A = this chain, B = another copy of it.
Amino acid sequence: MAESTNMRLRLPLLCIILEVILIILFGLLVEYNDETDAKLWNENRTHSATRNDHENEFYYRYPSFQDVHVMIFVGFGFLMTFLQRYGFSSVGFNFLIAAFSLQWATLMQGFFHGMHHGKIHVGVTSMINADFCTGSVLISFGAVLGKTSPVQLLVMAIFEVTLFAVNEFILLSILGANDAGGSMTIHTFGAYFGLVVTRVLYRPNLDKSKHKNSSVYHSDLFAMIGTIYLWMFWPSFNSAITNYGDPQHRTAMNTYYSLAACTLATFAFSALVNPEGKLDMVHIQNAALAGGVAVGTAGEMMLTAFGSMIVGFLAGTISVLGYKYLSPVLESKLKIQDTCGIHNLHGMPGVLGAIVGAVTAALATPDVYGQGLQRVFADVETGQWNPQSKGGFQAISLAVTLGMALFGGLITGLILKLPIYGAPPDAQCFEDGVYWEVPGEEEDQHELYEVATANEVEKLSS
């Protein structure tokens, strides 16, 4: 007997309870920071001769925030609409879990590294960080896409956001790692977390809905909206919380070059691995983005355009080959059913990015960075660490992240395996109709044609 997928009580109850808890915690713990509080800002402003309203953080972070916001809601949301009958869920559940995660992340991240006298201070930087954490959850969503109920996804988000904040705290605050664009904290963490979750939730009979686990012509075009927005705004993503000035400017530019080179590699290898030399939309939609992932750590460093392009080219290559040769093996041998292929887009390129970051950090010298060294590697400049040990800490950070992701994914996966969330049966995976009121279209036309056919036949036979 299949578990009921009716969400009438489960989803409202969970949403309302979560939101009420969030509201209470925000009421108790959250305060405007110095840049958003009317009293504090104006006091500070008056006391400082050089500070004026134009220098509010808002003007230097908010455009980046909006680009990141577009990536989270349009980018991730539409990227996953490639499935023929799962567009409502892709955009809609993406919307739901992102809206929840950004609130929960504000609390968790604030709790771990934003407390001031017992209060969490919020402003545009916390908004960006919350969106970053949300991105990690959405990456994991990509692995389980089509096989989970919205209740399951919200529960996953609760745990993943929490562990994300812990891991981020260990990396940035304890290990002092650099990871402005989140190759480790966001991509590697989100990918391996999601892969373990989908492994635990393995469905041996998923081939029952195999025919729905593919795209149609227009769904691929909708997905390209997501791809292109992710691609265009990735420079803003990687640079959104770097230090002001040259680091932010440089990060955006490095990312831009990495992505451009990655795109050429993607087209090249997509055609190469196809017997007829035809391009595959799956590669273009996903692998072309790997270049952004792979400079997430090193982007703020003096990687140079040259270095960025090499990294991007490698990332695109790895990603296409992963889609073609590795994903089928992961599914058949390791029982990892990775709907969107997040291992190829976020997993391997994330690890590559972490390694590139460690190497680039290890090569950092005052000769290259001048007085700018302090802006990127404060602890190297103060002499606390030498570049080599800095590079070592970067590598340790990757290991920690992988450990946290695998462990967290395992626990979370087991929790999600409980038969209480209304997950779809095997035969109804990748199908909006389970959780959505779906309007006719194919159906309607179908009917139309059936009527037409019947008429023709009748006419003839009469």
Contacts and interface: CB of A to CB of B under 8 A. Distances in A.
A65 to B, nearest CB: 8
6 contacts: A6-B277, A27-B306, A53-B245, A57-B249, A62-B63, A279-B436
Nearest to A272: B12
A127 B250 CA distance: 12
Contacts of A370: 38-40, 42-43
A231 B445 contact: no
Contact of A74 (B229, B248, B435, B453): B229
Secondary structure dominating the interface of A: helix
Interface stretch (A94-102, A179-187, A201-209, A334-342): A94-102
Contacts of A112: none
A281 interface: yes
Given A267-B150, A309-B19, A221 B87 contact: yes
Contacts of A122: 253, 305
Interface in A153-203: none
A264 B19 contact: yes
Counting contact residues on chain A (CB < 8 A from B), the size range is: 35 or more
A409 interface: no
Contacts of A74: 225, 228-229, 232
B284 A92 contact: yes
Interface in A47-81: 52-60, 62-63, 66-67, 69-70, 73-74, 77-78, 81
A36 B261 contact: no
A275 interface: yes
Given A15-B267, A30-B306, A42 B375 contact: yes
A371 interface: yes
Interface string A365-385: 000111111011000000000
Contacts of A63: 62-63, 66
Contact of A246 (B26, B36, B70, B85): B36
A279 B435 contact: yes
A214 interface: yes
A304 interface: yes
A132 interface: no
B95 A271 contact: no
A313 interface: yes
Contacts of A103: 257, 260-261, 309
Interface in A419-449: 435-442, 444-446, 448-449
A461 B458 CA distance: 11
Most chain B beta-carbon contacts within 10 A, residue among A271, A281, A370, A435: A271
Interface in A29-44: 30-32, 35-43
A267 B96 contact: yes
A269 B446 CA distance: 32
Nearest to A70: B232
A70 B235 CA distance: 13
Contact of A372 (B38, B123, B306): B38
A447 to B, nearest CB: 11
Contacts of A2: none
A158 to B, nearest CB: 13
A109 to B, nearest CB: 14
A81 B63 CA distance: 28
B38 A373 contact: yes
Q: Which 3 residue pairs are nearest across A and B when measured between Cβ atoms?
A: A38-B372, A8-B277, A39-B370
A439 B216 contact: yes
A42 B372 contact: yes
A24 to B, nearest CB: 9
Contact of A309 (B23, B440, B448): B23
Given A22-B309, A221-B87, A302-B32, A38 B277 contact: no
A32 B268 contact: no
A56 B216 contact: no
A289 B183 CA distance: 32
